[in-house]
Structure formats: structure tokens, C-alpha cells
Amino acid sequence: MLYFNRYFLLFLAIGVAGFASANQSIQELEQFVVTGTRTERLVTEAPVKTELYTRDEIETFHFTSIREALTLVPAARFEADCQNCGLNQIQLLGLSTDYTSMLFDGAPLYSGVARIYGADLFPAIFIDRIEVVKGGSSVLYGPEAMAGVVNLITSEPIETKIETRLIAERIADEGTSTEASLRGDYVDPDGNFAITGYAYREDRDGIDLTTDGFSEIPEFENTILGAQFWYFAPNDGILRSSYQRIDQSHRGGDQLNLPFEQSRVTEALSHVIDLTNLTWSQRINGSLDYALRMSYIDITRDSFYGARGAAEVTAWEEAGFSGDPDAAWLEANSALVDSVGRRVVGLTENTVWFFDAQVNYGWEDHLFSIGAQHRDEELTEASPNDPTKATTFGSARNTGIFLQDQWQINSQLEFVPGIRLDDHSNIDDSIISPRIAARWEVNDHFSLRASYATGFNAPGPFNEDQHIGTNQGGAITLINSPDLEEERSATFSLGAEWHPEPLKEQLLLHSQVHFTALEGTFEIDDSDELNWLRINGPDSEVFVWENSLDWQVAKHLHAQAGLTYIRARFDEAIERVTGLTTDEYLERPEWTALLGLSYDNPELFDAFFLLNYTGEMLATGEDADIWRRTPNFWEVNLGVSKTWENVLGNGSNLRLSIGVDNLFDERQKDLQDNGEDRDVTYFYGPARPRSYYTSVTVGW
């Protein structure tokens, strides 16, 4: 009966989209994008395919975090990897977070320390649009941009207003989550400046989805304070500055109410991230403009990866005993065991300076862009409660210069060649990254894009590739091999866009293929239980075929759909667990799909239906020495909203939303429930169980 209801709902939604009247034309609003070429271009005419997702789209489907918003992006998905610490990754073009450059208004958003939790750290409410460029983008953005770029963009306010929002959510009948936000915009009546300030707070309970008393979803707290300032100079210059503080903590394991060292297993991390951006841009004349940018990231991270059993054994042995610890002795010396357990407390301090300069010059049919970037990162790691462990220091510096030419050959054909030269402190030789892209507008209804793009990822001072911690307790030391070389990629892309003649103003169809070859893929040598080594592993190839549909079905009804096929393989088979030696990437479903329907009628109500399909994939539990082909997952989200205008006077409005995420509770059903002995990395598929939410927004 469950499957009948599921498919009935799917076909009903498709039927509504298919039979609704499509005769009502819509006004097509041209949107500008900047990420693909680092110059402002119409999204429909950009020679480098840039996908645009606006704040309206994000709010339509009630996405509250960046990871949720990326659900709309074909060939992108979110995967959780650890039940204790909440380790996660954004997969773009079948590649992990390490290969995607995350930007905030064009500047780096996170360092390697914070990136692994970054999709959850940053809420979507303060973002005006998200731009996504797929394929190697190192020519403009340097290291890491091998799978592509995700640019979170804010825009200056156009009116003075205040908005506050409260969201309450019930998760799997086991816990609650609350989110509260406040945003205020002030625009100078004379148009000289504008200011935005915002605050955000999230508090989520830890969730135990089995019966063993250990979390599958860690408890989570996040507080964000930020401000942005724009000054519009009389000489066509704009000064933009921003500051943001993220104060986040999360904890998984058991007995979350106890101090870290007293529970059987605790994995807890807290991040305080200060992010500052300063940008000056100016147009000198119709042919010449330039921009200068500086950003600074300061991260302080406290961590605890500990197991009570390991602390008990260590305390027992240091007291001069052997064999299994005596229960009575442990009880009498609990304070001593506590002090041993606290030795695994870690302190990480990480700073990143980023400088960026770019000049654009138009000459006849060419727009030349020349730029330079410098990134300087330093990291210190210490164990303040363990005097036997020395403080370690790491650093990385990268300087790059690039040149790009946007050449409009004729009204239908445009070429964009570009090249970049990088000098990285952890690489002996300079790195050259070329790219060439082209767009051919065959006619008013059909266009083609093609590109060859390269990327690289250099060894950094820190990168957390896997669940860092063991069931026996203690943090794993992960270091780079002395002969570690950079990863390199080359991506070939070919795509087509079609506006069918009868529905040109209403329907857009897009299909694109990407083929990425990776060399020197970073792998982990974990033959030493507590000292892991990052090495260059086998090369690999990833083929992606993505398809999307965007259709204004009727005046109030909009449909979005996507279908993606990914085949990711290493050049040689790798032994994963007993009985499984394979060349497949792990946790990479070959097929994923999306269907979104939104009904927007200010006079009545708004509603949405969202279906997210994840096909089968290969999942392993290396600690438990198990593997399986996972089942398919069909996540269905539903929501309805109503807005009342001027309900509180003074032009105010009130919006009430209710909904359910993961209606059929599609998630992993074979979670291990053997307490502290479980393999927390055996975790795949949708991370969030069925949950119900209510949201109230007030603006004036």
C-alpha cells in the first residue's frame, strides 16, 4: 500500500503539470550571473554555463541551509558520512567537497578545517542567489575548483525593511529543532549607502534512530551574527564590506547530557569562524573597470574524540596494572579516568588571508580580463591536556595570475579562452591551468555550449577526509606523505539548451554531458591504526549526463525536473572490505532525479511538492567489514504557505508555513544498533528522517 500511495502521488503531480493550461505567457526577467567568467553576463547568454538559483526559489521549497538548496542542482547531492560527528560532503559531478570551491560573494568561504561541515554551518536565509559552475574552474579560482564552484551571493538592499522568522520542527518523533532569524536593511534616502544586519540561531536535539542510545543525528547549535555595508561613491565606485561570525557546536555519541569524558563515546566539535570581506570596484569608462578584494578568515576549533573504555584501559595500565580493568577500581578512581579522557581534547587555530585583483578591458569584439590572487593559510594544532603531544604547525601559500578573453566572433558564436599560472608553496613546479569555452546560438530557440577545463588541488595544511576518531577512542593523526603531489583534472563538457517554439517564453530544456579525468587522486593509507597518511592513489574517470526542465506550466504553477546519470570509476580496483574489491566510487548513486512543483497565488496560498530520487549505490562499513548495494530512496517533501498583507499595519506582512519533509521516511533501515561497537561510518542515503515543521515570518 505504501508503494501504491507513493507512485500515485508522483503520477498525480506529473499529471497536474501535464494537463494544466500553458497558454498564459509569463514575463521573462533577465538575470545576471558573474561566476562563470568573473564578469557580469546575462544567464541566457553566458558562454560558460552558470546555473542560477534565486532566494525566491530557495524559499519556495522551504530550504533553510545551503545543503538543502543544492537539492535543486542537477549532478549535485548531499551525503552524510558519520553518525557521531555529522561529517558530510557535497558531491558535485560525482566528486566530493574537496573538489568544490565554496565562495561567499566571490571570496573563499571556508578553509579545509571548516569545509567538511560547511554545508550545515551556513543558512540560506541571508543569500540572495546561488550560482553554480560545473567542471574545472581553476583558471579563475585556483586550487580546489576541480568539480566546480558554488558562489553564495548577497545583493545590496533596495528598500528599508525588517524581517524576522521562527521555525519549529519535530524530527522522527524523537527530537526538535528550532531556528530563529532577524534581518534588517536600511537604505539611505539619498542613495549614498546601504546597511544590512542579521542574526540567526539554530538549536537541534541529538536523534537516536535505533534502540542503542547512541545518536544517528548529532545535536547541533549554531549562532550567526553579521553585517554588510555598501558605499556608492560619486565616481562610479562601490565600496563593500562585510563581517560575519559563526559560533557553532555539535556533539554525537551517547549520554549527551554528561561531560564529554564521562560518556561511553563522544565526538564533539565547536567552531568559531570570523569572516571579513572588503571589496572596492569602479568603472572608469565604458571599456574599463576593475575590482580589488581582501578577505580574512579566522577559525578556532575545539574538538573531542573520545571513548570511555579507552580512557579506562589507559588509566588502569598507567597505575601499573595489566589485564582487564577492575570495575571497583574504576569506580573508585573515576576522577583519574576523567583526567585521562580529557587528554584527547584538541585545539585548532586556522587563519586564511585572500587577496584578489582584476581588470576588465573591452576592445572591439573582445573583453579581456587579467587578474591576480594570493592566498595565505596557516594552521596550528595542539592537545592542551596532553603534554606528550607536541603542537604542530602547517602553512600553505598560493599565488596565481590569470588571463581571459571573451571573444564575440559574431552575433551567434563566442569563444572564451583562458589560462592561469599558479605557484604553490607545497608544490615544486608552477602549475598551468588552461580553459576554453564556446557558445553557439544556433537560432532563437536552440544553443550549444562546449568547454575544456582543467583544475588542480594542492596538498594543504589540513584536510579531514574521513571520520577522525576510533571506536577505541583517540583522535587519528592525518598527515601528508612527503612525496605527495597535487591532484589534477581535465573536464570536457558539451551541452544544449532548447526553448521549444510553441512555449518559448515558458519552457526551457537543458542536457549536458561532462567527462572528467583525475590524476593523482588523494587517498588515505590507514594501515597504521592511529597514524594515517595521505598519498596519491590511482587515477579515475567520471562521466556525468545531466538533464533538466524548467516550465512555467500556468500563471501560478511552475515545474522543475532533473535527471542525472553518473559513472565514477578508478583505473584500478581497490580492496575496500573483505570480499569487496572494486573500482567504483563509494556512495555514488548512478541515477538521481528531482521533480518540483510550486503553486504561487498571493490571493489564495502557496504550495509545493518536491520529489528527490536517489538510486542504488555501493556503501561500506570499513570498521565492521561489511558492504551492500543500497536500495532506492524516494524522498517527498510537501508544504503550504499563506501570506497576509498589512496584517499588523504600517505595510507589514505575516506568512505562515507548514509542511513535512521526507513524507515516507525514506532512509537507511539497517543502521547498526550495537552501541559503542557500531561502525558509525556505515551511514548512507538521506540523513534526515521524516519531520514536520511550522514557520512564521513577519516583515515590515
Q: Amino acid letter at 132?
A: V
Other C-beta atoms within 10 Å of 395: how many? 14
Cα separation of 388 and 340, whole Å?
Answer: 12
Cell numbers linked to 232 = 556608492
Angle between helices 308-318 and 334-341 (to 10 degrees): 110
Tell me the torsion sign for CA atoms 368, 512, 519, 630.
Answer: positive
Pairing outcome for strands 531-536 and 477-480: parallel
Residues 164, 178 contacting (CB under 8 angstroms)? no
Q: How many Cα atoms are found within 13 Å in the side-chain-facing hemisphere of 464? A: 23
DSSP E strands in 109-147: the ranges are: 129-134
CATH superfamily, domain 16-699, is: TonB-dependent receptor, beta-barrel domain (2.40.170.20)
DSSP characters over 182-217: EEEEEE-TTSSEEEEEEEEEEEE--B--SSSSB-SB
Q: Which helix (H) or strand (E) holds 106?
A: none
**pLDDT confidence of residue 203:** 96
Residues 51, 542 contacting (CB under 8 angstroms)? no
| Sheet hosting strand 148-153, strand order edge to edge | 51-54, 129-134, 148-153, 100-104, 107-108
What's the whole-model pTM score?
0.90
**pLDDT confidence of residue 462:** 60
Mean pLDDT by 10 residues, the chain (700 residues): 42 38 42 91 91 90 86 88 79 88 84 68 81 92 90 90 96 93 96 95 94 92 95 95 94 95 93 95 96 96 92 95 94 96 92 96 97 94 89 90 98 97 91 96 95 89 48 59 87 95 86 95 77 85 96 94 96 93 95 97 96 96 93 97 87 94 95 89 90 95
Cα separation of 431 and 421, whole Å?
Answer: 6
Cα separation of 363 and 260, whole Å?
Answer: 63
Q: Amino acid letter at 419?
A: I
Summarize pLDDT for 539-552 with one digit per residue, the tens: 999 999 999 999 99
Q: Which helix (H) or strand (E) holds 641?
A: strand 633-645
Q: How many Cα atoms are found within 13 Å in the side-chain-facing hemisphere of 30? A: 7
Widest distance between CA atoms in the chain: 86
SS3 310: helix
Provide the β-strand partners of residue 227.
197, 243
Pairing outcome for strands 148-153 and 76-80: unpaired
Residues 161, 172 contacting (CB under 8 angstroms)? no
**pLDDT confidence of residue 539:** 94
